[in-house]
Amino acid sequence: MYPFLLVGAGGALGAMSRYGISVLIGRLWPMSFPLATLLINIIGSLAMGLFVGLMARLLPTWQNEAHLFVAVGILGGFTTFSSFSLDAIVLIERGEMVQAISYVLLSVVLCLIGLYLGLLVTRGVA
């Protein structure tokens, strides 16, 4: 149960942070381009890289709890793109290039298709 609480608490913080930053960016730079989402994905991916790199060096004994609270919870709630980016880089660093490329392409293409199909279903088209 404790791991779920760590992820849940972190996820709530991450989601609230994402919303707050989105609102702030929307007020500062109102535009039709999804700048807030882009910036959040970049910030979250950078934060994931920094966290995972530092965690490996500084927190080996707290690694599991810190990973659940920060990486899965906070950063996962902030943007799942950071998790996606970490998964892709891990595959690349392992030398699994075919799997990495497949993962990136399948994730982007199939997620776009999935979202579009969901919209079609709700619009009564599919």
- Residues annotated within the binding site for Na(+) are 76, 79
Cβ neighbours of 103 (radius 10 Å)? 17
Q: How many CB atoms lie within 10 A of CB 99?
A: 14
Q: Residues annotated in the binding site, as ranges? A: 76, 79
DSSP string over the chain: -HHHHHHHHHHHHHHHHHHHHHHHHHHHS--SS-HHHHHHHHHHHHHHHHHHHHHHHH-SSSHHHHIIIIIIIIIHHH-HHHHHHHHHHHHHHTT-HHHHHHHHHHHHHHHHHHHHHHHHHHTT--
